[in-house]
Each structure stands twice: as C-alpha cells, then as structure tokens.
C-alpha cells in the first residue's frame, strides 16, 4: 500500500497519494452495511450502523478529499493505520466465527470464537434463564399469569333418573355411561371460556357414584407473550341435578302420546308376547317407549313420535308373520299457519300359530304346496312358519305373503297336551338335523292303572325317547276337534292319527331346582286379574322358560342373566358330580325342614331318570343383572 521509495523522503504528500485511492475503494462499499441493517439481513440497529459507517465515509469524502491540510498531515497516516488494524482484527474474527459454527471440530485455541447462547437473570427471582420476551422464568410466569381465568370451573349437569339420559343443551337428551366419551364431550361443551385456550387433554377423575358429582381434569395451552406458550392443568366439578326429561314427563301424564302400536295375537296364551318382550329388551327398543299397557289379547306400546312406532312395526315384521293397518285422528289444527296435530295408531296382528301347535291344513293349501300331508306340527317360528310332517320328517315353509293370502289357524295348541309313557320304541335311520324318526308304543298316564290301552304312532323324537320316558302329545282319539276339514279328509280316506307326540316331558320341580338364570321384564301397566288367571299366567311363564331351555335358537336372540345365588351354584356342582360319577343313589344335603328334605330326595330319584335334562350353559349367561333397570 505504501511506496517504500516515497517513505524514504518522509513526505506526507507521498502518503496521501499512495493511500487515498485504496481508502476510497474499501470504505465506500461499507454503505451496504447500512442497507443490510435496514432490510433485516443482519440483526443490528440501523442507527448504530449508520453512525459507524457514515463517520468513516465522511472523513474520506468530506474532509480528506477537499482539505489540503489533512492531506499534508501525519495524522492521515496514523488514521489509515488505525483503520487497517481494526478492520483486519474485525474481519478475521467474523471469518473464524463462521468457520467454527459450521464445522464440528474446532482448532485448539479457537473455542472462544464458537457462538454460545447468552443467559440473563429472571426479573423477579434472579434465576439464570435464556432470554425471552417476558424476561421471566417459567415458575414466575405461572405465578403471575393465569390462562384459566374466565373459564367456568363449577357447573351443573341435568340427569333424568327414570330413563338415565343427560341433557345436552338446548333440548337434546342423550344416553351416556359414567366416564364415557359421550359424557366427557357433553361436559366439555358446557364449559364457558374454553374456546379462548387450546385444549390438550381431558379425562375423568374418580368420584363416588352416590356423590352426584363429576370431576374432569383439563390441560390447556395459551400464548401469553410473543413466542412464550404456557400450559396449565385445572379441574372442573359438575353437580348432577335430577330433571325429568319431556318423554318421561309425558309417560307420567295421560293422553300425551303421539303414536300407538297395538300388537295382537288371538291365542289362549301369551308365550309369544313373553318372547317379544325379551326381543325388545335385547334391542333396547323400550327406551323410546312412553308407556306400555297390557290388553286381553296383546300389548299396547305408546310413543312420542310416529317414526318410533313405525320402527317397532318393521321390527315385528322381521321376526313374526304379521300384517298391520294404520289410522290417524285429528286432535287440533291451526288454520293460520296450516298446521295439524294428529295421533297415529298402528294395529299389528300376529299370525295365530305358535310353536308345538298341531295344524290341519285346508285342502286348497295342500294342493298349492304339491299335495302335502294335511296333518303337520309347527316346530319353529320366525318371519316364516316352519311346518314338519311327523310321519316322514319332511319340512315346509310358509312366508308372510302366502299365509295372509290363505290364512289358517292352529287346530290344537299346547293347552291340550296330554301325558304319555313310552312302552316300546323302534328306531329308524331316517334323520333330519336333531330329529330322528321312530315308531313308538305309548300309553296314557291316566290309563296306566285303569286299562291296558296302547297307541302305536310315529314320532320325530326318536333321538330323545327311551322306554319308560314320559312324553307330551295330543290325544286325537278323545279330543273334540271342530274343524270342517277333518270331515272332508275322512271322506277321502285320510284318517287322523290317534296320537301326535310333541316333546319329551321333564318334571317341573326338577327344572326349577337347576334353573340358574333369570330374565328381565318390561315395566307395563297390567290389567286387573283374578287369582285363577294369575296362576294360569305363571304356568305360561314356566312353559316359556322350558322352551328357552330346550331351544338354542331362542337363546341366541335374547339375553339370559345369571342368578347370584350360592345355593344354585352348589346345586349345579352337585348335578355335575352326579353326572360324572353316575351315582344313582346320591342324596343331597339340605338345611331345610323334614318336608323339604323328603321332596329333595324324590327329586334326586327323578333326576336319575333324566340325565339329558335340558339346561342353559353357564357361558350363555350374562352377569350384573339389575332388576330395577
């Protein structure tokens, strides 16, 4: 930079002529540093950079360029040397700092050039922290700032005690179990001010069921300062208030229903409606019913909406042979708004055919079905009528459309069953599922000690019967059947069988003894009944229980609940021991009086005759039965 030949003369003018062009080249572009600070490329204050850069540019172009005194002064040389020394050190520092931050290794002695985060003291407690816009540590921010301010922490939830639903404002009622997602969603929607923060997590805290309290733990986040996000946890307590929902309120008040479904079946028993009751409980259809009333030939179901009654009608059509008719009655109207208030009624008729009924088909139906035997029994019911010829084990099905086109009724029902004892039996190789054809000789139980009358017939119960077993059937020789078709068939030479066997008989006391299950029942308004009718209904319920134990298809469609009775468990264990040991002389221990002991001994003797006693397997039972539901 300096011509050493001129330095020999030590003339200041020589220094100016040699250094000034270089100063113009290197100092003038420093103006770009001011522009970089203004547009934000470097994190420096534009005023600070302007004062530093403008002073040098002014010295070069404002003073040294036009002042001859400064050009001939030794201070020009000293100024140039100071600027050179400072620039060499400054740019060497910047270069080493960039190299050390971009590579993993650092040369020995260069560690001071590596950038380290700065730390400051908290403005409240003095703890060393990294710089942040608030200049406070996390603990001080939590103490000074409450992001949950304005959020409700004590609320109420309305719950209907009768139906178990919760009120979702403004007017919707929903079912929700305790500590379920639906209940959690309902509770969170009731919190005011929750939209101002970000919800991170929410969960239930345990409370006693009888405390009428719900506790929820919520975790929220919110930005309290620029770049500072605070997270806090708080609890919300809900008080559960009892409030009857409109549907339950209507059920407690007469004449508030909107639609009615009248289900009828003209048969002398109610086993079909016992089965319907269990299907409704299985599908939870009773939750939409306002009220249930018993009628002489069926049940009336009351609803608050027309669609609910239509759903029940569709449900009945999928499980039974039915037909229905509907009507509506005008209750009120508003001519100004052209609105009308109707009450709708659906009358559903179930076909008067039940399981184990004896049926004598009309001649025209026998012809349409290919000349089948007119004497059949009903072995299964669904949305089809399943008929079976007990002489050949052939089965037939009749759907809803064909039945109501030519309807018929059962000739005999289970009310007319008579007891028989098997005297002799000859098995055949003809089988159909669980049935086997056999030729049996039976005698009426009432004739055993009086005469030696024996009936020979064919039956589908060959896989169940043995000599000495008791069986139930229809005594066609003594029953007076009022059917016009029988005379036609007798004229054609088709004779009615003297005996039609239906099912094997098991002692009722023995069945009750080992019955370790029970059913739920619908709450309905029952009619006033006499003592005889009540006893008859109890007998029908017992027959329905027996059908459940014998028929696995029925058990698949309903819910059976385990009895929490230790005595039943002991009796079940004793029965298993008896079957495994095959000890016919086993006696049960009892702590009851002498009369009950004698009855128990008789039952054990009967049990030895019925090793195939139908029972419900324990794996098909459900626990936690609450009869108050």
- pLDDT at res. 418: 92
Give the range with max mean pLDDT: 321-325, 460-464, 577-581: 321-325
The larger pLDDT score, comparing residue 531 to residue 71, is at 531
What is the separation of C-alpha 227 from the centre of its chain, rounded to a whole number of angstroms?
Answer: 43
CA distance 37 to 544: 94
Where do we find the tokens 């049940």?
A: 299
Per the CB < 8 A criterion, the answer to whether 382 and 296 are in contact is: no
Residue 14 has pLDDT above 80, yes or no: no
Question: Model confidence over 235-244: pLDDT tens digits?
Answer: 999 999 999 8
Residue 173 has pLDDT above 70, yes or no: yes
Within 8 A by CB and 6+ apart from 598, the residues are: none
Residue 227 has pLDDT above 60, yes or no: yes
Where do we find the tokens 């950038």?
A: 115
Residue 3 has pLDDT above 50, yes or no: no
Confidence tier at 407 by pLDDT (50, 70, 90) = very high
Residue 109 has pLDDT above 70, yes or no: no
Mean pLDDT score, 355-379: 90
The larger pLDDT score, comparing residue 481 to residue 178, is at 178
The DSSP bridge pattern shows strands 165-168 and 172-175 to be antiparallel
- pLDDT at res. 593: 43
CA distance 250 to 246: 6
Residue 477 has pLDDT above 90, yes or no: no
Half-sphere exposure of 623 (CA within 13 A, CB side): 2
CA distance 41 to 37: 6
- pLDDT at res. 231: 87
Question: Model confidence over 186-212: pLDDT tens digits?
Answer: 999 989 888 888 999 999 998 887 888
Least confident stretch, 262-276, 357-371, 453-467, 472-486: 472-486
Give the per-residue SS3 of 370-384: CCCCCEEEEEEECCC
- pLDDT at res. 254: 63
Confidence tier at 127 by pLDDT (50, 70, 90) = confident
- pLDDT at res. 309: 94
- pLDDT at res. 481: 78
Cβ-based neighbour number of residue 531 at 10 Å = 7
Residue 561 has pLDDT above 60, yes or no: yes
Radius of gyration (C-alpha) of the chain in whole angstroms: 48
- pLDDT at res. 10: 55
Give the range with max mean pLDDT: 84-93, 200-209, 560-569: 200-209
Confidence tier at 101 by pLDDT (50, 70, 90) = low
Mean pLDDT score, 113-129: 73
User: Phi-psi bin for 356: left (phi > 0), alpha (psi -120 to 50), beta?
Assistant: left
Give the range with max mean pLDDT: 72-76, 141-145, 236-240, 302-306: 236-240
Q: Which two tokens stand for residue 560?
A: 């059976």
Cβ-based neighbour number of residue 25 at 10 Å = 8
Residue 568 has pLDDT above 60, yes or no: no
Confidence tier at 327 by pLDDT (50, 70, 90) = very high
Per the CB < 8 A criterion, the answer to whether 408 and 365 are in contact is: yes
- pLDDT at res. 240: 93
CA distance 500 to 420: 11
Mean pLDDT score, 577-594: 40
Q: Burial level of 20, CB count in 10 A (0-12/13-18/19+)?
A: middle
User: Phi-psi bin for 506: left (phi > 0), alpha (psi -120 to 50), beta?
Assistant: beta
Angle between helices 271-283 and 531-550 (to 10 degrees): 60
The larger pLDDT score, comparing residue 604 to residue 36, is at 36
Helices within 105-174 (DSSP H only): 138-144
**3 state SS of 230:** strand
Residue 595 has pLDDT above 80, yes or no: no
Half-sphere exposure of 520 (CA within 13 A, CB side): 25
Calculate what percentage of the chain has a pLDDT beyond 70: 85
Mean pLDDT score of the chain: 81
Mean pLDDT score, 420-436: 90
Mean pLDDT score, 139-158: 86
Per the CB < 8 A criterion, the answer to whether 213 and 235 are in contact is: no
Calculate what percentage of the chain has a pLDDT beyond 90: 30
The DSSP bridge pattern shows strands 339-350 and 259-264 to be parallel
Helices within 350-463 (DSSP H only): 363-368, 400-405
């Amino acid at each position: 930079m300096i011509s050493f030949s001129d330095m020999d003369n030590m003339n200041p003018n020589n220094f100016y002529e040699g250094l000034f062009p270089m100063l113009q080249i290197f100092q003038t572009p420093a103006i770009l540093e001011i522009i970089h600070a203004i547009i934000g490329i470097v994190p420096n204050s534009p005023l600070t950079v302007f004062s530093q850069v403008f002073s040098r540019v002014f010295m070069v172009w404002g003073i040294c360029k036009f002042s001859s005194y400064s050009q001939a002064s030794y201070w020009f040389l000293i100024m140039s040397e100071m600027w050179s020394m400072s620039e060499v050190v400054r740019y060497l520092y910047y270069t080493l700092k960039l190299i050390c931050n971009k590579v993993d290794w650092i040369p020995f002695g260069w560690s001071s050039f590596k950038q380290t985060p700065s730390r400051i003291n908290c403005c409240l407690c003095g703890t060393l922290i990294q710089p942040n816009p608030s200049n406070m540590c996390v603990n001080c921010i939590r103490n000074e700032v409450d992001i949950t301010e304005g959020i409700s922490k004590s609320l109420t939830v309305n719950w209907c005690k009768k139906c178990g639903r919760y009120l979702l404002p403004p007017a919707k009622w929903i079912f929700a179990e305790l500590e379920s997602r639906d209940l959690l969603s309902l509770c969170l929607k009731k919190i005011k001010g929750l939209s101002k923060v970000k919800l991170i997590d929410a969960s239930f805290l345990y409370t006693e069921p009888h405390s009428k309290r719900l506790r929820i733990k919520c975790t929220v986040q919110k930005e309290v300062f620029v770049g500072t996000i605070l997270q806090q946890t708080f609890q919300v307590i809900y008080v559960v208030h009892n409030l009857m929902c409109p549907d339950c309120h209507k059920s407690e008040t007469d004449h508030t229903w909107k639609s009615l479904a009248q289900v009828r079946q003209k048969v002398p028993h109610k086993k079909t409606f016992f089965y319907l009751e269990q299907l409704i409980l299985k599908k939870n259809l009773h939750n939409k019913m306002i009220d249930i009333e018993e009628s002489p030939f069926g049940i009336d179901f009351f609803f608050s909406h027309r669609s609910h009654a239509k759903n029940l009608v569709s449900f009945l059509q999928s499980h039974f042979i039915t037909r229905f008719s509907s009507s509506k009655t005008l209750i009120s109207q508003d001519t100004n708004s052209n609105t009308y208030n109707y009450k709708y009624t659906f009358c559903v008729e179930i076909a008067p055919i039940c399981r184990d009924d004896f049926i004598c088909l009309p001649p025209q139906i026998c012809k349409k079905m290919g000349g089948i035997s007119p004497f059949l029994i009903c072995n299964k019911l669904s949305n089809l009528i399943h008929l079976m010829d007990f002489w050949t084990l052939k089965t037939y099905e009749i759907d809803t459309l064909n039945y109501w086109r030519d309807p018929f009724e059962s000739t005999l029902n289970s009310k007319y069953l008579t007891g028989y004892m098997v005297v002799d039996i000859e098995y055949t190789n003809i089988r159909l599922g669980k049935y086997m054809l056999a030729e049996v000789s039976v005698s009426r139980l009432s004739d055993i000690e009086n005469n030696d009358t024996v009936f020979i017939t064919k039956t589908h119960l060959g896989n169940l019967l043995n000599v000495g077993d008791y069986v139930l059937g229809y005594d066609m020789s003594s029953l007076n059947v009022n059917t016009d078709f029988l005379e036609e068939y007798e004229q054609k030479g088709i004779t009615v069988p003297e005996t039609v066997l239906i099912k094997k008989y098991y002692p009722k006391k023995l069945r009750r003894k080992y019955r370790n299950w029970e059913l739920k029942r619908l709450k309905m308004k029952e009619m006033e009944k006499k003592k005889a009718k009540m006893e008859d209904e109890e007998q029908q319920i017992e027959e329905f229980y027996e059908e459940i134990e014998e028929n696995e298809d029925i058990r698949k469609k309903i819910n059976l609940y385990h009895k929490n009775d230790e005595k039943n468990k002991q009796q079940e264990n004793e029965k298993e021991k008896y079957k495994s040991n095959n000890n016919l002389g086993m006696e049960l221990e009892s702590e009851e009086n002498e009369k009950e002991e004698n009855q128990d001994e008789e039952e054990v003797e009967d049990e030895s005759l019925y090793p195939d006693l139908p029972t419900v397997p324990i794996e098909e039972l459900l626990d936690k039965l609450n009869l108050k539901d």
